[in-house]
Structure 1
Amino acid sequence: MATLAPPNTRIADLNDRCRMGLDRTARIVATRDCLATIAKGDRNMDMIIAQARVLKAVRDYRFAPDERSERDFGSLELDGETIFFKIDYYDAAMEFGSEDPADASITTRVLTIMLARDY
């Protein structure tokens, strides 16, 4: 008989999938201020490169091995700026909070990336 992972562990695994870009239903947003600060320029190409660099930094982020959290929040440094990322849980219609974030079939994850000063 298979045993189910504790909800906290299941949520952490789903959040990792979201951060890695493997959750097709997730939404990933970065604040304009975050991208503009990292871009160091105002051309579209500067913003695209900044977005790629920020996403890579979030995907490369490693939580402490003994951390037992849902891994829904992190803080990292990029180009001398402190960047926060946060994952929130919504229902499939994105109207209300999810009743069970451990159930991927009823939860839409939203990963928001921002500068620490914007939090």
Structure 2
Amino acid sequence: MRFLTAGIIELLKRNKVDGDEIVQIVSEFSVFTEDNDPHGEHDFGTFEYLGETCFWKIDAYDNDYFMGSDDPTDLSKTRRVLTVMLAEEW
């Protein structure tokens, strides 16, 4: 599941583009370092888009999206949610 915040939606509307390019940027993100990914989880990143600093993060929920998954490595009981936001929305 993906979620674009109100700030990202407004940025896309203002520039008359859809969200497909943002999803592509996130899927190709590979600039993980000890500083921005100290646990090696690859679940957070930052990028520039249309002059704005943007963040993305992935959260692991239980199957009902009610609370965090008790075992994020078990795909049978974990649902992941990608959120993309403007840095100022953090």
TM-score by length of 2: 0.83
Q: Which letter does structure 2 place at the counterpart of 1:36?
A: E
Offset at residue 101 of structure 1 (A): 0.5
Offset at residue 65 of structure 1 (A): 7.4
Residue 34 of structure 1 pairs with residue 8 of structure 2: yes
Q: Give 1:11's aligned residue.
A: none
Q: Which runs of 4+ in 1 moved over 4 A?
A: 65-68
**Identity between Structure 1 and Structure 2 (%):** 34
Q: Give 2:31's aligned residue.
A: 63
Listed as ranges, the matches of 1:9-28 within 5 Å are 27-28=1-2
Aligned mates of 1:56, 1:35 — CA distance in 2? 16
Q: Give 2:43's aligned residue.
A: 72
Matched residue SS, 1:50: coil
Matched residue SS, 1:102: coil
Aligned mates of 1:117, 1:33 — CA distance in 2? 9
Q: Which letter does structure 2 place at the counterpart of 1:111?
A: L
Q: Which letter does structure 2 place at the counterpart of 1:76?
A: F
TM-score by length of 1: 0.65
- The structure with the largest strand share of the pair is 2
Cα RMSD for the two superposed structures: 1.9
- Stretches of structure 2 that go unaligned for 5 or more consecutive residues are none
Q: Which letter does structure 1 place at the counterpart of 2:54?
A: I
Contact 2:32 2:42 in 1 (8 A): no
- The structure with the largest helix share of the pair is 1
Contact 1:57 1:78 in 2 (8 A): no
